[in-house]
Structure 1
Amino acid sequence: MTFWLLVALSCSSTPNTNGTSSEDPEAHGRLYVDDGVTPVDQNPRADQLQMTASAHHLTVTRVTSSDVISPGLCDTGLSTVIDIVRVYGVQTLTEVTVGGAVITSWSLNSDTDALTISNIGYDWCSNSPLDITWE
């Protein structure tokens, strides 16, 4: 089983130097994924992923800081693969790259402004970070 990652870009008003404001779509957050079996009070094997998105870019990185106590999911046999990413808030594009390589396995739904990228195969234990761009 692989994971889907859903990203909803929001608009935040940012003042420009001329006194007007612009809307820059963005999203960010952290995802906690554990083994799904071990009670939380028993420190389950888990990973945390940090995600940051802007108008044309998404980065996903596995958190490996000292505040993460768990040994992680990498050697458990459980899936650590993100295969599909859907980004809401994308209105137009002509090209998508994953890890710098142009890919063709994407679609854009103009009714929902949703970019769906498939066949990514990003394993957060083997590859870091995941970089996706669209233009």
Structure 2
Amino acid sequence: MILREGTLQFDFAGAIDAFKFDEQNPALVTFHGLSHCMKAVDFVVEYDDHYLFVEIKDPRDPNRYGSEQDKSALIKNLTTKFRDTFLYRWAENKLDKPVRYQCLVELDNAQTLYLMNQLKNQLPTEPPPLDGSNH
């Protein structure tokens, strides 16, 4: 399945389903209608054994996230997009498989390592149980 984000094209070969989760066109079936109050990753892709949330950040300005304040804003943005998408899909009862999160951002190696470590510390790893129990 091929999806586009701006001028970039992604082929999710072997996917069961793939769609633009931050769809802005209300006429399309994948429009979730909560973009006014929730952030959304760019794509949700379903494979046999997991879901893949994909977020793409504009790679045209690799210096955009140079300062610590800019990095913090980027981490907050990526975290919020994951959490809101995670919550939305959980509420739809569509988290019956593990979720992987792939952020595609052009940064230098030091910035990438910092970003990965910060994101790991802020993202949930398991959905809450739907039956209300506390396992």
Higher relative contact order (CA 8 A, sep 6+): 1
TM-score after normalising by structure 1:
0.31
Report the structure, 1 or 2, having the larger helix content. Answer: 2
Greater percentage in strand: 1
TM-score of the two chains, using structure 2 as the length reference: 0.31
